[in-house]
A and B are shown apart, each in its own frame.
Chain A
């Protein structure tokens, strides 16, 4: 039996205003992403893949169409509701890690949990588990500038999964890493997907990174081109 779609996109369009002109970025996108999938969004620069990821993550709003995540139409949510929704449903992994430089690895991972009702002990336990999962149990007290790029991205992954989100969105997660670190990060994403059942949606240019995904979706000039298994 096929997995239920965790993300359901129908007739989604998005454009950006430049002066008097509206530049279309996404045009009539319809796409379902099954629960537990690991999907890679590929395409040339300006194809709209990051925009599509931002819409799925609820940090941008479409001009039209519907976008359901776990059955909830997030296009109808207001700013505050959307912020709450992101806190509980989305784990973010950015190309440049986006860790708070004044917080230690532990404090960075704990950050999303501050928006939950969890007590201090529970937060500590979860953050420690997440850091142990990414192999950084011994680096909890280190600040981002004391960690390598690969280690910072692993902290970011720990931060993304610590609140047990519905989906994990990763925008070029290996774009700023060397080959070895990139492989470590991809291995972690595969583990999250395979062992923890997390739905991972990743934007990438990296052909190696694509091989970690179960499915690849191509975008070109704002339109969906191919949705295929990564092995194809």
Chain B
């Protein structure tokens, strides 16, 4: 085994430029594969954050239609429901409409909001300050970093859905539980929104974009969802209740084609590098026909000869693959810095690294398989004739 590895290792460096270029191709391919897989995972980040004990109740017709706020009390009275909080998409413009200045803002039930989302870590003092300030806002850590928000700052938003200029005081900054938690949002009092709407657009007041419903037992999600929707059947605003995960996946489904395209491209990259490595290994095996025939003449088995080619193929792809994986982390950081507004969670997971490693290994084994089989089956007499 040691001798086989020695031969494999030395053979790799016979054509340094060829091996280097093949490895470079591997680095680029595995890096691209890892980044694209991370993009796909980032797409699902919202759904991954979802809790099994949270349901979303919204207008059955469409998310753009509100539901009356008094539904909150009726939902709260349904068996299995622990808490209900309102959430309205605000859609305010910060500074200008550039992509970099976009961030989500929600008008929520300040009293219980952070009880429903334990993945957001708050300081008790800041939370108390927020609850006592009608114009208070809680800002996520990532958002605070991006825009330099600090406690005590005033954030002015121009309402796009709710006209006017809206000012908020940063009461606190909430932290993520871990790196999968998105903290690129701002939460403020639904009461503040509602009070101003009563003054400015009374018909739009007293309504909710959706309700976040906390249930006592995640396994009863379907049953409770049906009970909620039954409660409002044949009313003016029928509801649709689903798990938070299903709700988030509904958003992803709208861009399913893009996700699918990204997935396909990530695998196409691997297929292309497979073709490159397979060609390299076929060329290598052809050039060494006489050596393989000599080894067989000396008594080495066809398996040994085959293992030389597969071993070389696997070693090249693993070296390139590992370098590609190592490069994925800093490149992903750069990617996140550039596209944080689009992908608040852009984190290279263990699964992605596993897939990259598996892809490199699969390329190595498959690319070496046919040349290896041919090398192992070469007739000694024909192989020796190949010399000159």
Q: Which residues of A come within 8 Å of B, CB atoms?
A: 54, 57, 59-60, 79-80, 83-88, 92, 94-96, 98, 100-103, 111-112, 114-115, 159
Check: B7 CB closer than 8 A to any chain A CB: yes
B132-165 interface mask toward A, CB cutoff 8 Å, 1 = contact, 0 = none? Answer: 0000000000000000000000000000000000
Check: B301 CB closer than 8 A to any chain A CB: yes
Cα distance, A101 to B10, chains bound together (Å): 10
Cα distance, A85 to B301, chains bound together (Å): 12
Check: B291 CB closer than 8 A to any chain A CB: yes
CB distance from B305 to the nearest CB of A (A): 11
Pick out which of these stretches binds chain A: B41-49, B210-218, B269-277, B380-388. B380-388
Nearest B residue (CB) for A85: B299
B292-315 interface mask toward A, CB cutoff 8 Å, 1 = contact, 0 = none? Answer: 001111111110000000000000
Query: For residue A80, which residues in chain B have a CB less than 8 angstroms away from its CB?
Result: 301
B10-22 interface mask toward A, CB cutoff 8 Å, 1 = contact, 0 = none? Answer: 1100100000000
Inter-chain contact B387/A102, CB cutoff 8 Å? no
Nearest A residue (CB) for B12: A102
Inter-chain contact A94/B380, CB cutoff 8 Å? no
Cα distance, A60 to B382, chains bound together (Å): 10
Residues A94 and B294 in contact in the complex (CB < 8 Å), given A59-B380, A83-B301, A102-B10: yes
Query: For residue A54, which residues in chain B have a CB less than 8 angstroms away from its CB?
Result: 380-381
11 CB contacts below 8 A, A to B, read A57-B297, A59-B297, A79-B302, A83-B300, A98-B294, A100-B291, A100-B294, A100-B295, A102-B10, A102-B11, A111-B298
Cα distance, A114 to B295, chains bound together (Å): 11
Check: B208 CB closer than 8 A to any chain A CB: no
Nearest A residue (CB) for B298: A112
Query: For residue B297, which residues in chain A have a CB less than 8 angstroms away from its CB?
Result: 57, 59, 86, 92
Inter-chain contact B384/A115, CB cutoff 8 Å? no
Residues A83 and B7 in contact in the complex (CB < 8 Å), given A59-B380, A59-B381, A98-B290: no
Check: B3 CB closer than 8 A to any chain A CB: yes
**Which of B7, B10, B290, B298 has most A Cβ within 10 Å?**
B298
**Which of A98, A101, A112 has most B Cβ within 10 Å?**
A98
The 8 closest A-B CB pairs, nearest first, are: A87-B299, A102-B10, A59-B380, A98-B294, A96-B387, A86-B299, A115-B299, A83-B299
Inter-chain contact A87/B381, CB cutoff 8 Å? no
Cα distance, A175 to B18, chains bound together (Å): 33
Cα distance, A88 to B299, chains bound together (Å): 8
